Amino acid sequence: MKQIINTTGAPAAIGPYSQAVKANGFLFVSGQVPFDPATMQIVEGVEAQTRRVMDSLKAILTEAGCTFANVVKCGVFIKDMNDFAKINAIYAEYFPENPPARFCVEVARLPRDVFVEIDVIAAC
């Protein structure tokens, strides 16, 4: 059985997908991009975009009864690998202990040409 998770603390889905799906003790969170959930406008700058993405992930995790401590895997998609250190520094703030498994790749293009998109899987 699956449960659809939605929160106003993260941007509404802009396509045929859910913010997250909880199933069999796992939470699968769709990739989050840096839209301000109140205005659906993109925040400016790589650091601000990364923080917005992480805050959206936090809101979805919270709505599902989870925290970043429950995250077991992250996928990080970035526009420019030269921004890796900036993105990684902010990402690390949200995982101060026992960080999850992760991959990070540079991609040709992200929605609305944002700098970063992150998805997570959590056990909760």
Active site residues: 104
Sheet containing 101-106: give its strands across. 2-5, 20-23, 26-32, 116-123, 71-78, 101-106
DSSP secondary structure letters along 15-52: SSS-SEEEETTEEEEEEE--B-TTT-PBPPSHHHHHHH
Asked if 118 contacts 54 with a C-beta cutoff of 8 angstroms, the reply is yes
